Chain A
Amino acid sequence: MSNANTSPPPGSGSAGGFFSSNPLLTLIFQRILLGFVLLFAISALLFVGIEILPGDFAQAYLGQSATPEAVANIRKELGLDAPLLQRYLGWLGGVLQGDFGTSWANKASVSEQIGKRLGNTLFLAFWAAIVSVPLAIGLGMIAVHYRNRFIDRLINIVSLAAISLPEFFTGYLLILFFAVNWGVAVFPATVFADMAFTDRLAAIVLPCATLVLVVLAHMMRMTRAAILNIMSSAYIETAELKGLDAFRIIAKHAAPNAIAPIINVVALNLAYLVVGVVVVEVIFVYPGMGQYLVDAVTIRDMPVVQACGLVFAAVYIILNMVADVLGILANPRLRHPK
């Protein structure tokens, strides 16, 4: 927090006349500012972190023919002989203009590649989210309604089992049954630029299902816990004594008050859908960010690794920031001050 608050003069307490009149805007503005500061810090951390990693692109690239002269030539060619700070500032300047530099390995523009890859990853994440978020919240509400009864236990056990199995195992199981044995699904899930929309959807069914199974339990259990917590409130009793039916009580009276913790865990899982897909993309040979990153790491293609790292960090920060802001907006005390 302290980083974000460097702009107002020390001791002034609030963020100035305009914002002090609207506490909601102040809070949201603070979150956004904090997000930028965080992103900036991460960019520095990424750059330095990669710098101190062992291994060298020039040596990996040249392999057996890595004479000192050849290594020095490549380093010079890539600008690696310049001081760290100068390289960082140069890179940062490019990033701010949307230019992530060029890949060391194939000299292609990293921004262009990421454009395509990120699109694919977001496509997969989007559909996984569309399925998993309503499903998780719905199941959570059902579990609350039948709490401690058979249906609640069943939902809990199945979702726990799904989260306990690693993605690569779930993924291969799905491939084995749905693609190999029964032949109802497509494998591999490779998509191309000129593919029809329906074909794309068909291609991502299995990776999407794998992701849904992985993120479902966490969101479902949080929804259940958050709503259960609310169910003992006096206003739930009021609703019951107003003769409302059980699902209306859960959906209309309990859920809106449980929204902040639910949004938080949903955001974390959405971030995981984008950032954590590395394994799933590799299994299903899906051309997204994860595979791009894994390929770049093996050949120490640092501009690509940095770019992927920064994009992943940005996704995490943005989603959490959105969750924060939505959590604030969900609080009627802040939305409607006295």
Chain B
Amino acid sequence: MSDSATSDKLLDVKDLRIEATVYPPGETPKDIVIVHGVSFTLEKGKVLGLIGESGAGKSTIGLASMAYGRGGCRITGGTALFNGEDILAASKARVRDLRGSKICYVAQSAAAAFNPAHRLGDQIVEATVLHGVSSRAEAMERADHLFEILGLPNPKEFGQRYPHQVSGGQLQRAMTAMALCSQPDLIVFDEPTTALDVTTQIDVLAAIKHAIEETGTAALYITHDLAVVAQVSDDIMVLRHGKTVEYGPVAQIIETPQEDYTRELVSVRSNIKPEAEDQTKPLLTIENIDAAYGNSLQVLFDVSFHLPKGQTLAVVGESGSGKSTTARVITGLLPQRNGRVTFDGRDLAPKLADRPREDLRALQMIYQMADVAMNPRHTVRDIIGRPLSFYFGLRGREKEKRVIELLDQIEMGESFIDRYPAELSGGQKQRVCIARSLAADPKLIICDEPTSALDPLVAEDILKLLMNLQKETDVSYLFITHDIATVRAIADSIAVMYQGRLVRFGPKSQVLSPPFDDYTDLLLKSVPEMELGWLEKALVERKMEAAGN
């Protein structure tokens, strides 16, 4: 960019303080501080990664650099100099002028962030035209050019599409095109790849990085995934509870972290559980399963695998691969068309309604969204106590005693017994869900992405808890996930699924070692590694393979 400003500082944030009012149930509303005096500077054309777990204030800081407070957030202190002008003190009209022309935003879920009623092209050029940056025709031309840079299919026609007509990965790229269209000085990327499959993420990540380099814009890149941010950033700021933990060049943060918390983040998911040796005696076997929704939409094709007692089978695949549908067949929610499910030496009835209560008890589930899997009007006592009375007829003192035992087992303790789900943290909610499934004394627990909505460190604790419980109770897990790191950590055997078919199945050591089939290879190579320059290496490898084919 041929900008001849005297200073290289594009954004200079000092002592940023953000507050919000919370309304705890049954108490008087109170103000809490979300961001405590955070400072950073961003030079022209550089990328600063903001990283931390949920509640760290990273998105809030990103939005504050657009002078925007989401929900009830109020910016109550500090300055944010953008090209030397304090945008926090600027008038509303001035802020509107800057947004969409000089500072742009890329949201986490592009699927929700695009207006379903308008064509993508119209939405992408809207701000550029409205702010008078360029004429509509010029903006359209630039959008087409951006579609090309971002590797979108049919760049000439892409703008004519409606949001529902393109895939999630394409929408995320379209969102980036929207942000780049007005040739802004700064883009705030708010977890732009978090909602994507790992195989899509790498493409979008590469496209974003390429576009940033090509256009010379600066960026704030917000994410909870250190491995991702290491690929695109020049500097990294680690945040926790609204405070800066560590702030420095990317190489320093990744290679020689100074703070314990950063070290924990860097080393997360390193515990590898040795796989069980004898995997021959199955507790659960599914053979040649075909399943379909309605009359026409077949989603599972000839899927077979088995899971031994006291072990963990990880079912891996991207969204739409049929992982969750397989779980629905096993639980009887979606009776299979063909094939059989054998459990504990007997055939399971395809339909849930035909299964005896004993089968229902022995097969429990844990879900991804713990907070919607619990009745918000029930206390922890009711939630964990329900299966105790339903399956075992426990009442009164006896039931209470067992609930407390279960709470101890999930390392929470008696003090939580009268809480409502809304009064628990994300990790605690998932623990209560685990206790509820344990209460039925099951032989198999189907875990449907139980940690993917949690922060890495919390997820780590949940995985440890699950592994401990397996040792204690000899329960088997069918663990559905899209996260290879989790799989490496906990699985005994792995089933890889792709487009409704099983592409690879066997003990972990076998599945994760070459020779690979094409899909497993792609999947493994797409997982970001905590290593500088990984993205470039992975892309080069891909290109070479494509050329070799």
Q: Which residues of A contact B (CB under 8 A)?
A: 13, 233-235, 237-245, 248, 252-253, 256-257, 330, 332-333, 336, 338
Contact = CB atoms under 8 A, between A and B. Distances in A.
Contact of B100 (A235, A237, A242): A242
B117 A256 contact: yes
A-B interface, 10 closest residue pairs, ranked by CB to CB distance from nearest: A243-B99, A243-B100, A242-B100, A234-B112, A242-B127, A256-B117, A241-B105, A243-B96, A235-B115, A238-B113
Given A234-B113, A244-B127, A257-B117, A332 B164 contact: yes
B97 A243 contact: yes
7 contacts: A235-B115, A237-B70, A237-B107, A241-B63, A242-B104, A244-B127, A336-B164
B288 to A, nearest CB: 27
B101 interface: yes
A238 B105 contact: yes
Contact of B114 (A235, A256, A330): A235
Contacts of B115: 235, 238-239, 253, 256-257
B112 A233 contact: yes
Contacts of B104: 241-242
Nearest to B127: A242
B102 to A, nearest CB: 9
Contacts of B109: 234
Contacts of A333: 116, 162, 164
Given A241-B68, A243-B127, 20 more contacts: A235-B113, A235-B115, A237-B70, A237-B113, A238-B113, A238-B114, A241-B104, A242-B100, A242-B105, A242-B130, A243-B98, A243-B101, A243-B131, A244-B100, A244-B126, A245-B96, A253-B117, A256-B117, A257-B117, A332-B117
Contacts of A257: 115-117
Contacts of A234: 107, 109, 112-113
Contacts of A237: 70, 107, 113
Contacts of A330: 117
Contact of B164 (A244, A253, A338): A338
Q: Which of B99, B114, B117, B126 has the most CB of A within 10 A?
A: B117
B473 interface: no
B196 interface: no
A336 B96 CA distance: 32
Contacts of B295: 13
B140 interface: no
Contact of A238 (B95, B97, B107, B131): B107
Contacts of B112: 233-235
Q: Which of A240, A242, A256, A338 has the most CB of B within 10 A?
A: A242
Given A234-B112, A332-B162, A240 B68 contact: yes
B121 to A, nearest CB: 13
Contacts of B164: 332-333, 336, 338
B116 A332 contact: yes
B419 interface: no
Interface of B: 63, 66, 68, 70, 95-101, 104-105, 107, 109, 112-118, 126-127, 130-131, 162, 164-165, 178, 295
Nearest to A241: B105
Q: Which of B113, B178, B295 has the most CB of A within 10 A?
A: B113
A125 B162 CA distance: 37
A244 to B, nearest CB: 7
B126 A242 contact: yes
B173 to A, nearest CB: 15
A24 to B, nearest CB: 14
B165 A338 contact: yes
Contacts of A239: 115
B96 A244 contact: yes
B169 to A, nearest CB: 16
Contacts of A245: 96
B60 to A, nearest CB: 13
A265 to B, nearest CB: 19
A240 B67 CA distance: 11
A238 B118 CA distance: 13
A240 B115 CA distance: 12
B71 to A, nearest CB: 10
Contact of A243 (B95, B107, B113, B116): B95
A338 B164 CA distance: 8
B364 to A, nearest CB: 34
Given A234-B109, A338-B164, A241 B66 contact: yes
Nearest to A257: B117
Given A234-B107, A237-B70, A336-B165, A242 B117 contact: no
Contacts of B127: 242-244
B103 to A, nearest CB: 9
Contact of A256 (B97, B105, B113, B118): B118
Contacts of B95: 243
A242 B130 CA distance: 10
A338 B170 CA distance: 14
Contacts of B130: 242-244, 248
A168 B353 CA distance: 59
A338 B166 CA distance: 8
Given A13-B295, A333-B164, A338-B165, A241 B116 contact: no
Contacts of B116: 235, 257, 332-333
A243 B96 CA distance: 4
Nearest to A238: B113
A240 B100 CA distance: 9
A241 B115 CA distance: 13
A59 to B, nearest CB: 61
Contacts of B100: 241-244
Q: Which of A234, A239, A253, A338 has the most CB of B within 10 A?
A: A234
A243 B162 CA distance: 22
A333 B68 CA distance: 31
A107 to B, nearest CB: 56
Nearest to B128: A242
B258 to A, nearest CB: 34
A233 B126 CA distance: 18
